A and B are shown apart, each in its own frame.
Chain A
């Protein structure tokens, strides 16, 4: 008992630290044939022919499949639960290889060879002839008349458009004396940069296809492979070993269908696709770049009267998660700072760029940058204090969303802000930093974060769990919500130990590897929901197992079941606390009894029709060297209310990782494209400026623990929220330091040079006229 709430060591810590843990590549036999994709070298066009004869003649080349040889069955890739209602199914706009190529880096052909070198050589020799089409890279350009249509079925390239309307925006803004703050904000295309690139291998076994993949969503990928290959889903077995991170890129079907198809075509030969880092940047998934237009109408005292948001989400070439991302950001907008008159429009638009999908935060990093930058811009325009203004307008306690039925039970925003403000000495610094001159200045900035846990009621939300007791009183635990580095397995073990009554979480052997033949059905790892949803199925299943144990104990000890309990791995008589027998003795008897043998197991599914808000606050302090055009982060804190912490050390680690990701998003990361060709310019870890350890100050993570009433363990989302408030906090700190508002990420030296020049902080007398 008492495992929950302790900072116990991760179950996989030793195996991962010593290199013993098996990842996909470790499990692939050396006899595997190697796949290498030939990517398109134009941004938009039609493949006229693929010349493979020279490549096919090379040493070790087994086969080359081109876009003319794959099934013409469009399939969806998003890692969403399937919907049996056709109107709620994800858009199926993808083929395994494409004759109509829609971005620079699209998949045209695949080489199968005996080794990596032979495959790489052959891939360089494949010659593709194209009929080029005009392409479009800008999200709003793509919506204009006369721009190239990327998918036939989507005129104007608009994949989806949704609106919100509350009150009477047009009427409200006619009130005399209102102040209007009207600005545009933009976030760039960024990539997840998980350590392990996507890798998958496949082989035939007894007339079925076995696929081992680095994925977050094994059961979903099983379904999409079945759909793509036109096979019954039961013919596919998907195995997910340990994975080296995903951050949403692997919440998508990537190269599993193509790899499975090649194996199928080669009679079930073992084939492996090990995606390079360069391909990961361009030909996997990226975060949606979103351009947001915010208009706020306020009375001079700082009361919101009416607000409007228009956002344009750059989907890239294929639908993937599509409009879900922009819709989530649009959903945050009217809730975070409630206002009587709100209008919102979100557009998700195809462009000839890499495909945008899920990435840590799922629309919220983009929305927080726009909304929380805008909050400081309002304060600047009205002469208000950013902290006081936020506290006055933030979603109040008791707020309830009619759609999700989520309720704001606690004053989390203000409690988190209290902690952050105290840690950073915010008020004194914010005041002191207003009066600076000179080339090097300091600034401090604040951002709240709004995050909505879970998937219900848009999609299915459930979790299934299986527990199996061993002879020694330990147990196995299986769920389908995958360990992807976040530490979920350890949290599950802690929860399960407490429910069943085991002394030590290490007596819960979590079967980390998901195998769709064996693992109970579940949806995988996404939406910061694993601990929340598994909490339900672990409690329900654990109680079933415990009831069975107690019934058996009642038989053995001739004691009424109602008087018994399992405490610290012992059967205890509750009336006096006496230990009647160790759980291990009971289990051994149950296995081998000549009177009543029984394998004590439990399995159940819990459908979950609730979720929870998860809020927090970030404060960042920067030092800006104006002549050098550099902003250096010197101090930062994130404070979160994610309910009760199951494992405080792991929670802190989650926040550190999210803050690091937020820092890169704020200061340095962006994928760039050549405007003349659509070619990605910096799709590698040198030219794409992922932030490093040397770019981070100490990352301070703190928590407010309000027990979440809808969760069996009082917990709620923490995976994504830490990444969401960092960029606006840093942006607002630069504003505090210099008086210069920058509305586009990343806040790198190039944009600082441009904005400082525009605002007169940099005056190069020698600057040439253009």
Chain B
């Protein structure tokens, strides 16, 4: 039995926006795999909910007219993993969301909910940051788009304004073109877990495969929100595709993250793992690019 004050079911996007304006204190619920858990814990007890489950127009993955990959916000993790568009252009995202919880959660949970929840550990979040995703919101004044790094304001807080619903996440063509990546979820068991740290790296090599044209890295759980690693990226960009670069890339991570001691993991351990993950993810990205470390 859940302590729900009221449940409003939106039949259209327009109605969802109207309900958001009418009930500013209400939480939007999609798959419910986060909201209902928090409600049971008492954190959201007595909450009003607006369900957007019926908005089928927000489901599915496709390429839009500009060649961007468009993920409707209600697309479930398992739909993303199975999507041919994702598999062809950004397979790492399908792999990352396939590490969420267990099969039942992946059938329920949505990419929109995963990002609107604003938590640093979300398995989609570091990959979306590393691939410079764009978030689309629809509100009373129409659509608004912003880079995902601006969407995350702080732990558990995202930039959604009154009346707005997140409607899509986009990966621009320039981001995914000739680019391959790898996500490593460091968790204490192989399913039903939240990352101790997540590391998502992607790389684009020069046509001859000898130089890193562009390397991007983002961590989950290295700060209150997912974060890029600019020092590490700088240590690889324009550098030769070799083991020395991978080592330098890994070590430079230490300038980008500042983890803390907690009962979940020590600072020393988190730093150690972050370096190791960065190196392994970059090496695997090179392999996926068809390159070879010299």
Q: Which residues of A are at the interface with B, using a C-beta cutoff of 8 A? A: 115-117, 120-121, 124, 627-629, 668, 672, 674, 681-682, 685-687, 689-695, 748-750, 753, 762, 764, 766-768
Q: CB-CB < 8 A to A629: which residues of B?
A: 269, 272-273
Q: CB-CB < 8 A to B3: which residues of A?
A: 117, 120-121
- One of A115, A685, A692 near B1 (C-beta < 8 A): A115
Q: CB-CB < 8 A to B191: which residues of A?
A: 692-695
Q: Which residues of B are at the interface with A, using a C-beta cutoff of 8 A? A: 1-3, 42, 45-46, 102, 186, 188-194, 196, 251, 254, 263-269, 271-273, 275-276
- One of A674, A686, A753 near B194 (C-beta < 8 A): A686
Q: CB-CB < 8 A to B186: which residues of A?
A: 628, 749
A767-B3 Cα distance, complex, nearest whole Å: 48
A695-B102 Cα distance, complex, nearest whole Å: 13
Q: CB-CB < 8 A to A117: which residues of B?
A: 1-3, 45
* Contact in complex: A753, B272 (CB < 8 Å): yes
- One of A628, A672, A685, A749 near B188 (C-beta < 8 A): A749
* Contact in complex: B271, A764 (CB < 8 Å): yes
Q: CB-CB < 8 A to A120: which residues of B?
A: 3, 42, 45
Q: CB-CB < 8 A to A764: which residues of B?
A: 268, 271-272, 275
**Least distance between A322 CB and chain B CB atoms (Å):** 29
* Contact in complex: B1, A628 (CB < 8 Å): no
A539-B190 Cα distance, complex, nearest whole Å: 47
* Contact in complex: A695, B190 (CB < 8 Å): yes
B190, B267, B275: most-surrounded residue (chain A CB, <10 A): B190
A216-B189 Cα distance, complex, nearest whole Å: 30
* Contact in complex: A750, B265 (CB < 8 Å): yes
Q: CB-CB < 8 A to A686: which residues of B?
A: 192-194
Q: CB-CB < 8 A to B263: which residues of A?
A: 672, 674, 681-682
A693-B194 Cα distance, complex, nearest whole Å: 16
A629-B269 Cα distance, complex, nearest whole Å: 9
Nearest A residue to B188, CB-CB? A689
Q: CB-CB < 8 A to A692: which residues of B?
A: 102, 189-192
Q: CB-CB < 8 A to B251: which residues of A?
A: 766
A-B residue pair count with CB separations less than 8 angstroms? 73
Nearest B residue to A34, CB-CB? B1
> Given A117-B1, A120-B42, A124-B42, are A753 and B269 neighbors across the interface (CB < 8 Å)?
yes
Nearest A residue to B194, CB-CB? A686
* Contact in complex: B273, A691 (CB < 8 Å): no
**Least distance between A60 CB and chain B CB atoms (Å):** 12
A692-B187 Cα distance, complex, nearest whole Å: 13
* Contact in complex: A694, B190 (CB < 8 Å): yes
Q: CB-CB < 8 A to B189: which residues of A?
A: 668, 689-692, 694-695
A-B contacts besides A690-B189, A766-B254, 7 pairs, CB < 8 Å: A121-B46, A629-B269, A681-B263, A682-B263, A689-B189, A766-B251, A767-B268
> What are the 9 tightest A-B residue pairs by CB atom distance, in nearest-first order?
A694-B190, A694-B191, A116-B1, A692-B191, A117-B3, A689-B188, A627-B276, A753-B269, A681-B263
* Contact in complex: A766, B276 (CB < 8 Å): no
Q: What are 13 sample pairs from A and B whose C-beta atoms fall under 8 A apart?
A: A115-B1, A120-B45, A121-B45, A627-B276, A629-B272, A686-B192, A686-B194, A692-B190, A692-B192, A693-B191, A695-B190, A764-B271, A767-B268
Q: CB-CB < 8 A to B193: which residues of A?
A: 686, 689
Nearest A residue to B191, CB-CB? A694
Q: CB-CB < 8 A to B266: which residues of A?
A: 750, 753
Q: CB-CB < 8 A to B267: which residues of A?
A: 768
Nearest B residue to A672, CB-CB? B263
Nearest B residue to A689, CB-CB? B188
> Given A116-B1, A117-B1, A117-B3, are A768 and B190 neighbors across the interface (CB < 8 Å)?
no
A749-B191 Cα distance, complex, nearest whole Å: 16
A672-B42 Cα distance, complex, nearest whole Å: 22
**Least distance between B185 CB and chain A CB atoms (Å):** 12
Q: CB-CB < 8 A to A627: which residues of B?
A: 276
- One of A682, A749, A766 near B271 (C-beta < 8 A): A766
Nearest A residue to B251, CB-CB? A766
Nearest A residue to B2, CB-CB? A117
Nearest A residue to B279, CB-CB? A627
Q: CB-CB < 8 A to B190: which residues of A?
A: 692, 694-695
* Contact in complex: B194, A749 (CB < 8 Å): no
**Least distance between B111 CB and chain A CB atoms (Å):** 21
* Contact in complex: B272, A768 (CB < 8 Å): no
Nearest A residue to B269, CB-CB? A753
A629-B194 Cα distance, complex, nearest whole Å: 18
Nearest B residue to A632, CB-CB? B190
A629-B196 Cα distance, complex, nearest whole Å: 13
A689-B263 Cα distance, complex, nearest whole Å: 14
Q: CB-CB < 8 A to B272: which residues of A?
A: 629, 753, 762, 764
Nearest A residue to B266, CB-CB? A750
A648-B120 Cα distance, complex, nearest whole Å: 48
A120-B193 Cα distance, complex, nearest whole Å: 27
Q: CB-CB < 8 A to A691: which residues of B?
A: 189
A203-B271 Cα distance, complex, nearest whole Å: 57
Q: CB-CB < 8 A to A750: which residues of B?
A: 265-266, 269
**Least distance between B8 CB and chain A CB atoms (Å):** 19
A628-B274 Cα distance, complex, nearest whole Å: 10
A563-B174 Cα distance, complex, nearest whole Å: 93
Q: CB-CB < 8 A to A748: which residues of B?
A: 188
Q: CB-CB < 8 A to A762: which residues of B?
A: 272
Nearest A residue to B46, CB-CB? A121
**Least distance between A748 CB and chain B CB atoms (Å):** 6
A361-B272 Cα distance, complex, nearest whole Å: 37
**Least distance between A503 CB and chain B CB atoms (Å):** 43
